[in-house]
Amino acid sequence: MTRDAPPEVLSSRLGYLLKHAYLRLSEESARALAPYGIDGRELAVLAVLDAHDELSQLEAAGKLGVDRTTMVGLVDALEGKELVERRRSPQDRRKNIVRLTPAGRERLREAEVARQEMERRFLAPLSGSDAALLVRALRSVVSSPSSAPPPSLNPRDQ
Amino acid sequence: MTRDAPPEVLSSRLGYLLKHAYLRLSEESARALAPYGIDGRELAVLAVLDAHDELSQLEAAGKLGVDRTTMVGLVDALEGKELVERRRSPQDRRKNIVRLTPAGRERLREAEVARQEMERRFLAPLSGSDAALLVRALRSVVSSPSSAPPPSLNPRDQ
DNA sequence: GCTGATAGTCAGCAGTGCTGACGATCGATT
DNA sequence: AATCGATCGTCAGCACTGCTGACTATCAGC
């Protein structure tokens, strides 16, 4: 793609900036993680599984913000690489508990180092305090309530 | 989708934050622009065409950061809505000059107001100075040179 | 008049994310 | 215990994007 510098009309539009920042980061991420045989989404799955014990597929999907049908493929791929394993929950046999294998834990550890290094490079054009503020600002807009589906005032919906 | 609050392990990962910030903004954008019959990408096309005279499809695609094959469909859609028109360049008959129609200019004006209002709401959780810094920080990482394709030092490649 | 490069178009493919359906299982009710 | 509605995982199929590769028309240089 012929990638011009962002023209003035677009460089202050949030849509353009967020999209292209995300695309840029995705490329860097793919490059940084390639040696470990996983991509950024898979690494996030490993991280979530490592941080919580006994997560079912659906619970993990909820934390990751992906659809449960998407989670199937994600776990399939990681299981194929023997980084996680499925195990039916004895308490509720509808659930697949997904656990890191020892290899998965090790891979997570290595890849996390690479990811942090990649993010450091990505944020290099910013001062340390600006970088920290960027992260805080993003966290803030991401977790603030959406104006989206006309909010129901019916308490039963919560 | 069951959208949990971002779990701690993910809320400091740039990939997660940029992706979800972008998704959130996309939803808001679609909602805000729906009354005008266009989406965010189409609005960006109109804005770029308005800011530069006599752009060919390829030139506009370059400014937008989209592929030329994608640009075909984008212009098709806008032409179908009679917001832009194609016209062969007399100077170079390979080129399609894309111009705003008067209706396109008017639609752009209206939709821009809606977009700005939407962005204002989106950034509401941030203070004014934090919002401005977020935009500047994003612009900075987006336009900083990528580590990507092993940079050729051969001047002929430029 | 050739030749190589460029602009627009189209068909086809890959990645992603969704919907809708299904079987298995659960919890509650009767 | 038989039944009913809901939940979890799975899969097929669709839509949307964005790309590659091929093709035509056109250009610029020789």
Q: pLDDT tens digits, residue range A20-75?
A: 999 999 999 999 999 999 999 999 999 999 999 899 999 999 999 999 999 999 99
- Two structure tokens written together for B94: 């390979």
Contact status of A111 with chain B (Cβ, < 8 Å): no
CA-wise closest residue to B67 among A22, A1, A93, A43: A1
For chain A, say whether B31 makes contact (Cβ under 8 Å).
yes
**Does the predicted model carry a pTM greater than 0.75?**
yes
- Among residues A14, A123, A110, A82, which one has the least CA distance to residue B26? A14
Q: What is the mean pLDDT of residues B68-74?
A: 96
Q: Does the structure show a pLDDT above 90 at B107? A: yes
Yes or no: say if B28 and B118 are a contact pair by the CB < 8 Å rule: yes
Residue A4 contacts B, CB cutoff 8 Å: yes
Q: What is the mean pLDDT of chain A?
A: 88
Selected residue with higher pLDDT from A156 and B131: B131
pLDDT given for residue B154 in this prediction: 38
Query: pLDDT category, A18, cuts 50, 70, 90?
Result: very high
pLDDT over 70 at B44, yes or no: yes
Mean pLDDT, range A123-144, rounded to an integer: 92
Any residues with CB less than 8 A from the CB of B96 and at least 6 apart, and which? B56, B57, B75, B86, B87, B88, B89
Sequence-separated (6 or more) residues with CB below 8 Å from residue A96: A56, A57, A75, A86, A87, A88, A89
CA distance A82 to A99: 11
pLDDT in tens, A109-126: 999 999 999 999 999 999
Nearest Cα neighbor of A27 from A122, A116, A131 is A122
**pLDDT tens digits along A63-101:** 999 999 999 999 999 999 999 999 999 999 999 999 999
Q: Is the CB of A29 under 7 A from strand D?
A: no
Other beta carbons within 10 angstroms of residue B157's beta carbon come to: 8
Question: Is there contact between A88 and strand D, defined as CB under 7 Å from any strand atom?
Answer: no
pLDDT value for A149: 47
Region A134-151 average pLDDT: 77
Is a pLDDT exceeding 70 seen at residue A1? no
pLDDT category, B144, cuts 50, 70, 90? confident
CB B49 within 8 A of CB B60: yes
Q: What is the mean pLDDT of residues B33-54?
A: 95
Query: Stretch B19-31: mean pLDDT, rounded?
Result: 94
Q: Is the pLDDT of residue A140 over 60?
A: yes
Residue B38 has pLDDT above 90, yes or no: yes
Does the pLDDT of residue B28 top 60, yes or no?
yes
Q: What is the mean pLDDT of the segment spanning B38-47?
A: 95
Q: Which domains are delineated in chain B? A: 38-134 (1.10.10.10)
pLDDT value, residue A157: 38
In which band, very low, low, confident or very high, does the pLDDT at B115 lie, cut at 50, 70 and 90?
Answer: very high
pLDDT of residue B9: 84
pLDDT of residue B30: 94
Whether residue B34 contacts residue A156, with contact meaning beta carbons closer than 8 Å, is answered with no
**Mean pLDDT of chain B, nearest integer:** 88
The pLDDT of residue A147? 63
List bases, strand D, within 7 Å of protein CB: 7-13, 17-21, 25-28
CA distance B84 to chain A (A): 18
The shortest CB-CB distance from A21 to any of B12, B119, B138 is to: B138
